[in-house]
Amino acid sequence: MAQANTGQGIGRVERLLFTALPLSALCLVLWKLARLELPLSASLSWVPALGIDLAFHIDGLSALMLLMISAVGTAVFLYAGGYMAGHSGQRRLFVLLSLFMLAMIGTVTADHLLVLFLFWEATSVLSFLLVGFDYHKSGSRRSAQQALLITGAGGLALLAGFLLLGQAAGTYRIREIIEVVPQLEQGGRLTAALLLILVGAFTKSAQFPFHFWLPNAMAAPTPVSAYLHSATMVKLGVYLLARLDPAFGEWPLWELLLKGAGSITAAWGMILALRERDLKRILAWSTVATLGTLVTLVGMRGEGASVAVGSLLLAHALYKAPLFFVAGNIDHGTGTRVIDRLGNLRHSMPWTAAVALLAGASMAGMPLSFGYIVKDVIVEAKSAGEVFAFAKAANTIFGAVAVAVAGVAAVRVFWRHPGVNESCEAREGSLSMILPPLALALSGITLGVFPFFAQGLIAGAAGAMVPVPREILLGITLEFGPTLASLALSYAIGLGVYISWDWLHERFDAAVQRIDRLGMAAHFERLLRGIPRAAAASTRFVQSGSLPAYVALAIGTLSLLLALVMALGWSSFAVPALGGIPGPAVLGACALIAAGALASLFQKDRLALLLSAGLVGYGSGVLFLFSGAPDVAYTQFTVETVFVIVAASILLVLRRSGRLSSLPEARWRPAALALAAAFGAVIMLLLFVASTGPFDPALSDYFSETSLPQAFGRNVVNVILVDFRALDTLGEITVVLLSFLAALPLLALRRAGRERKAEAE
């Protein structure tokens, strides 16, 4: 076990206090179950303005989940005390696990979609922190990032789906939603909500095509893998689907997607399990496959399927968590989890071997284990409901490979391959590493022998999905029929797979390696690598470092925005009045402006360019002069003259360095011309639009009326500038002054440089 850099180990008392948390929850759940006090609900006003209450409701399904969370939690907390003994990050682990448990309890008891989402996201974040527990290893960090990105993205989809669903249903209370939604029309909004929620649930429960993050999450310490990534968190997706099953269960799309994705995941997960050599990853893939089976069962109609969901949830928690503990014990005792290097461990680790046998029997569905009853229920449900052939085949693969995986985990590493790991001294761990898995595995067997203990619990959980009219009976069926035939088939195939495990491994590894490139994991990696590339490309497009490109981008964006605004209000614009024909002076001025502007486009010589551009200014002056704006005209003439003088003096300097003519450039730049014409057209249209609207003379009238009485001036334009808007004019003068002040040092620098050069010469 690698040592983390920070944190401290913790003492026995503190460990017990932490363990008391799940233990007290377990006692409370058992107490409530025993006294038949369910369902319970509570509500606390939280954000009344948005109608969000901290609403909780515990029914049979929630109780089943709570039982798993607290029972496996207690085992995990106890186990972690032994497994992580002396590890410096132990306290961090316990704090994170406690927080995670609280988040899980919140998720499975929440009765408000947004409250559920809040806790759901908390589990994703805590999963990230726990997968990346050994944060000094780059593999852990990568796996944690992958898990967070996938479940986090799914969480966003889930939020969007929840909002759509809540809006469509008119309520965010889950109990009300499942009553309202079946009566609603199956419109586009509900379909979108359904798809988004499915994305959220599928990412959380590692369903195809989001299945690949779960085995990578095995970078976490074993207690974390057993708790989060097998028994509880990954079941949240299944929980949510089961919770919403009464709302969407009648939809063909719901049924199709759940059965389709679930079956693919079940079959594909088991095939990928054959590729692995790491015991933990083998178990992880079989978890993925189990989750697929659960999703398929949720998608099926009928009470049989609902009972199967409840029993498989419970059975899986009871056998998979101990098997993870077994993998942890083996890792702890021998230092490896690779099955090629493990064998004949029954002598050195007898208790772990016993646990593995008990849990493996349940996983394989051997008679007298709870797994057997579950298999029975599943087969019955599938023969009762309408299932397509693919789902049936997937289930057969799932059952068969489950037998094989159980064989590898329970038989192969303990009873076969003697002499493989004789060199290393395998040893049994402390008592806290044996008792918790033993307790869990034993309860799996107990429930197999006395199934009526679980009956009420399973019936309650199934009742959340369908009304269960008659008392369900979990029992050991002894009738010969399709059930036994199917079981026998899966045992036989499973045995075959187990015996030829190594041979199959080589074949599958070689075959799947060829399509790895096309797999979802590879796509995900490509996506991650593409993000910086896309960022670089977009940054370099927007921020190219070229001045013309910046001008083009700014002008183009402005043109588009203005065009968009005008297009939106197009219907409300009137045709502009042509007005009277202007006088010859105005006509001449306009001709002068246009001639200057057009001529400047062709000038190679900079002085000629300056003079042509000057025509535009002087033309504007003439226009102002003859249309009743003499003050503006005088200003324009003055400014234009001074500008030409300034520009000409700068040209004189340029002449000294031989830069009187423009840079050689293409005679016509069509793209630039098109953009310029587009912008000009938009401005022209804007002017038309502005002139057709109603004219608001309020300000003009105010100035016209108050100019003489209040400011004692007859020239209204002057009065506006120096009296009514005097501060504005002050600002204008300041700008002129500032530009002069800014230009001075630039010119002075120039002079200094020139003098120094002269001195040097």
Partner 1 sequence: MIPLLALTVFVTVTAGVYLALSRDLFRCVVGLAMLGAGANLALYAAGAKGSARPAVIQKGAEVLADAANPLPQALVLTAIVIGFALVCFALVLLLRVMQYAGSDDADRLRLAEPRPDDPLKPPSHSADCLPVYPREDRS
Contact with partner 1 (CB under 8 A): which of 135, 351, 524, 703? 703
Of residues 558 through 577, those in contact with partner 1 by CB under 8 A are 576-577
Binding piece for partner 1, criterion CB under 8 A, among 86-94, 301-309, 413-421, 669-677? 669-677
Q: Which of 125, 484, 493, 717 binds partner 1 (CB under 8 A)?
A: 717
Cβ neighbours of residue 288 closer than 8 Å, sequence gap 6 or more: 206, 211, 214, 215, 265, 269, 272
The reply on whether position 691 binds partner 1 by CB under 8 A is: yes
C-beta neighbour count of 734 within 10 angstroms: 10
Q: Please, which residue, 98 or 692, has the CB nearer to partner 1?
A: 692
Nearer residue to partner 1 within complex by CB, 36 or 547: 547
Considering only residues 137, 347, 655, 669, which one is a binding residue for partner 1 as defined by CB under 8 A? Answer: 669
Tell me how far, at minimum, the Cβ of 642 lies from partner 1, in Å. Answer: 7
> CB neighbours of 738 closer than 8 A, spacing ≥ 6?
none
Stretch that binds partner 1, among 7-15, 207-215, 304-312, 616-624 (CB under 8 A): 616-624
DSSP 8-state assignment for residue 409? I
To which H or E segment does residue 55 belong?
strand 52-58
Between 146 and 707, CB nearer to partner 1? 707
Nearer of residues 2 and 752 to partner 1, judged by Cβ: 752
Kindly tell me which residue out of 86, 419, 545, 584 binds partner 1, with binding defined by CB under 8 A: 545
User: Is residue 705 part of the contact set for partner 1 (CB under 8 A)?
Assistant: yes
Cis upstream peptide for 532 (omega within 30°): no
Rounded Cα distance, 425 and 445, in Å: 31
DSSP 8-state code for residue 500: T
Residue from 45, 167, 500, 662 in contact with partner 1 (CB under 8 A): 662
Residues 631-650 that bind partner 1 (CB under 8 A): 631-632, 635-636, 639, 642-643, 646-647, 650
Looking at beta carbons only, is 192 or 647 nearer to partner 1?
647
What mask of x and - would describe binding to partner 1 in positions 580 to 609, judged by CB under 8 A?
A: x-xx--xx--x--xx--xx-xx----x--x
622 binds partner 1 (CB under 8 A): no
Phi first, then psi: what are they for 57, rounded to 5°? -150, 130
Residues 734 to 753 in contact with partner 1, rule: CB under 8 A: 735-736, 738-740, 742-743, 746-747, 749-750, 752-753
State which residue, 185 or 696, has the beta carbon closest to partner 1: 696
* Range in contact with partner 1 (rule: CB under 8 A) among 188-196, 206-214, 449-457, 678-686: 678-686
Report the DSSP beta bridge partners of residue 52. Answer: 47
With H, G, I as helix, E, B as strand and everything else as coil, classify residue 2.
Answer: coil
Q: Which residues contact 441 (CB under 8 A, 6 or more apart)?
A: 318, 319, 322, 355, 358, 359, 362
Which is nearest to 92 in space by CA: 215, 209, 224?
224
- Using the rule CB under 8 A, is 36 a contact of partner 1? no
Which range, of 94-102, 136-144, 383-391, 662-670, touches partner 1 by CB under 8 A?
662-670
Binding of partner 1 by 43 (CB under 8 A): no
735: tokens are 């700008």
Rounded distance between C-alpha atoms, residue 351 and residue 328, angstroms: 13
CB of 146 to partner 1, least distance (A): 21
Question: What secondary structure letter does DSSP report for 182?
Answer: G
Tokens of 472: 């369900």
Site for partner 1 in 477-536 (CB under 8 A): 532-533, 536
Report helix angle 435-449 to 370-384, nearest 10: 50
Q: How far is the CB of 526 from partner 1 (least distance, A)?
A: 15
Beta carbon of residue 569, minimum distance to partner 1 (angstroms, whole number):
16
Residues 611, 594: Cα–Cα separation, whole Å: 14
- Using CA atoms, how far apart are residues 112 and 107, in angstroms rounded to an integer? 10
CA distance 269 to 174: 32
| Nearer CB in complex with partner 1: 48/709 | 709
Peptide bond into 246 cis (omega under 30): no
